[in-house]
Amino acid sequence: MLCDINFFEQRYNIIVAYNILALSGEGCLNQKGNDFHVGATKILHFINPDLFLIIDRNAARAFKDSHNITYRNSTQPGYSAEKYVECLEYAKQDIITYGVNEFLSIETGTPMCRIYDKLSFEAAGFNLNE
């Protein structure tokens, strides 16, 4: 679970996995050959939805606004593995500060990082119920 990970010990592993999934060029995951940053976070989230967040343009905007992560306000926010780990660390601290059990009770049965994703989407100025 996100709240249990030791980022000092696992930072390198997360960065390597992210960078491999996000690679651009021939034979990589993006069929157009471009970087695959959002796709990398989606794959990591699919593998372990209690540990990995999906960071797309909306989540990047929420992290920029709430934690001053240096994403840009553009269609290419400047994704990187290092920023991804930074987002995970902030999310972990946010959840611990809120209270892990209280946070999980927001949507019982939903993986921790999916709850956080939904809240980030709302924080970016969107209403999930529309």
In tens, the pLDDT along 32-88 reads 666 889 999 999 999 999 999 999 988 998 898 889 998 987 667 889 999 999 999
CB 52 within 8 A of CB 1: no
| pLDDT reported for residue 31 | 65
What's residue 121's pLDDT?
Answer: 77
Instruction: Tell me which residue of 47, 46, 51, 48 sits closest to 87, measured CA to CA.
Output: 51
pLDDT at 72: 82
54: nearest Cα among 45, 66, 63, 65 = 45
pLDDT at 126: 46
Q: What is the DSSP letter of 28?
A: S
pLDDT at 128: 40
pLDDT for position 58: 86
How does pLDDT run across 8-40, given as a tens digit for each residue? 999 999 999 999 999 887 766 766 666 889 999
Looking at residue 127, its pLDDT comes to 42
